[in-house]
Structure 1
Amino acid sequence: MGKYFGTDGFRGEANVTLTVDHAFKVGRFLGWFYGKNHEDGKSKVVIGKDTRRSSYMFEYALVAGLTASGADVYLLHVTTTPSVSYVARTEDFDCGIMISASHNPFYDNGIKLINDRGEKMREDVIGEIEKYLDGDLGEIPYATKENIGRTVDYVAGRNRYMGYLMSLAIHSFKDKRIGLDAANGSAWTLAKAVFDALGAKTYVINANPDGTNINTNCGSTHIEGLQELVRREHLDAGFAFDGDADRCLCVDENGEIISGDHILYIYGCYMKEQGALEGNKVVTTVMSNFGLYKAFDAVGIEYEKTAVGDKYVYENMLQNGYRLGGEQSGHIIFSKYATTGDGIITALKMMEVMIAKNKTLSELAAPFAVYPQVLKNIKVTNKTEAQNDKEVKAAVEEVAKMLGEDGRILVRESGTEPLVRVMVEANSLDLCEKLVDKVIDVIKARGYAI
């Protein structure tokens, strides 16, 4: 991770850590950088945004920077991150930009950069942007006269993306009663339009964005409202998205949560049955529940484990040709259909399995027994020293030995805070608590705790 850009773009509080000046300069650099690849100096960039009040401000700043450097900018307006990825890779754009802070509160925002293949932008390009932001690259020339870029209203691109989503459904959703939680974000019109077109009877909540209510007690990070809706209306299933709709969590017909790990299990089994599970592997992260691996073992599905972050999941999938991967949080990648997580595609794929197998989500998820998990953070003076301390490592090894094949321990450092995270999964919550505290007590005894 760089000074400004993390694993999911440049994110921070609007006009505090991420300012309009930053956005203008990012636009200036990208317009100039990609313009060098064209004889006339004109690159093509597509931009989407979520419903935050500051998204319009950042959109205008990016457009000003891009056009000042000679780029032509196509505006999708309020749309999802995966739609920007889709349009960038299918319609001859040099790059795409999504203005969103995903599941963060409304006062945060972010700039996500997408390459011409619909993937996250290369690290070397990000590095050059950061140099420019710090003034280390000198001046970039302004475009003049007829070389100044133009802005194009491009709602048509978003509509083509919606058509693509509808084309992925192989069954009608007629007679299915479905709840949708749009998180007052990017999916607020798209998800309902797609499910309605496919024949579902939709019940939609949190689809009234006002610029300040995105993710507020709603969406995939606050799924209680959708659970209540599914139970009250006796729906077949519910799907909750995050602010930019690249994530989706599900609610079964009983109102119980179907996590990203459940989704990987359900669709992984379905793909294996169809002979479509490339390499017989699903890509997970180290934070996936231990029960997922037990469930995969039971049906003969193998798995990879990456660092936390959809970026690392996708890199593993791309390198090895795997078709399915994702995170417990609901960021699921179906590489045959998209180069990034797509919440609406995830919902469509869950519907496909339900209809094809004529089973409810609870029935499909039943063989996967979630293991109790306890995760505690401890603030430390030095994350690396605390993890590598001989006595701390010995305590971790002792816990791992005690758990054997009936659980696991994971100790890792926070990427953004002076914290060590200690997580234990076992067959009882009390045992998890006891073993986590055992390791934390050693960290404290060794003098690392703040």
Structure 2
Amino acid sequence: MLRPDPVHALVPPAVAQPSTEDWPELGYPTPGARTRVSAAVARRLFVSAVERLDVTVRLGDGDTARTIGRGGPLAVVHRPDELFARLGRDQLIGWGEAYLTGAWDAPDLGAFLTVLAAELPSLVPGPLQKLRGAVVHRPPMRHRNEVHNTRANIAHHYDLSNDLFQLFLDPSLSYSAALYDASLVDHGDHLRAGTPRDAHESDALEAGQGRKIERLLDEAGVGVGTRVLEIGSGWGELAIRAARRGATVRTITLSTEQQALARQRIAAAGVADRVDVDLCDYRDVAGEYDAVLSVEMIEAVGHEYWSTYFRTIDRVLAPGGRVAIQAITMPHDRMLATRRTYTWINKYIFPGGFLPSVQVLDDVTRAHTRLRLTGRLAMGAHYAATLRAWDERFLNAGEEVAALGFDETFRRMWHFYLEYSRAGFASGYLDVWQLTFTRPEDAR
């Protein structure tokens, strides 16, 4: 129920709505009876859900504002009619789009979203969840990761601007979860109390990225003379570190921007004679490799091609070889329930992306390859801390981001993406694993 507003927190000001000429996908829902009905249903479901949560939501601005929720992180809905119209039309995509337009805001976006993420499976009443298949949008066919369009999906994100990524990543340009020193990470998403939030925290992030890579290289047995295949180059840090161990490396990517900067960084590191950076789809890889590594790339494969991905690895892996991947995962039941759902992340950040569960990766490799999952390390809390660090750096670089030509709507989109992701890990809804695969038959 609605009740008088007890909130005395700083309320974020409303922002100007983005131009639909620049952002046509953010057009307002078409007025009419259908919009009114779906908005009314969305409002009832929203209020019912928030009343059960440890959050505070202020509906409206000024003297007419009312507050719902049981108390906790604050969100302010400046334009309730717009929010509910978008929710009614596009469900969670509409929720994210309403943030982009400034229809709602939150002083601590990640904290607010973390509460929602922790309760995500139960936000909609059970009986209504049975209607999910008739309500949610399906991923468009153009996002399916077939050979002819995978490069476009990758370019949508990774070819945005190397300069943009350099503004918020650490100097290694590692765009995946860091593995912090265990003493620095608590059960949530902060570095432990007392850890300086300045250059020392930046040092901790860079050290954590190095620790993550070195552990993967150890798991894959990379050393002098090892033939390494890396699927998904990033900006070259793993390839550099593998080459410094004495390995020869072929690293593949579908991003022209990443390829260009990775080659520069590899040359500057003095290991260009031991590393090739190729524009190549993983399905087209040939040769034989003693170690195959891939860091947070399987999320871009698409569930239709997980078996293809692992069959390719199995095909090129030399006898006695080892595989080490880092993968973002979701619970198996949620993976099954959402694998045909078009999400805000798909629409705005990662077209064609989808998260596996650890169970499905185990099942797929058992069913389609000789590989077996023989090692695993969970790092979810480390990813929450990594994302918090990235978002703080991104926000602090606001003027530089604008100077690169990215408008306010893009900056809100990127902030929402980083905090939305952080909430998934901080709540435990998402996890990230380092997974090791070997062929038991090779040990006989």
**Is TM more than 0.5 here?**
no
Q: Which has the higher strand share?
A: 1
TM-score by length of 2: 0.30
TM-score by length of 1: 0.30
Greater RCO, 1 or 2 (C-alpha within 8 Å, sep 6+): 2
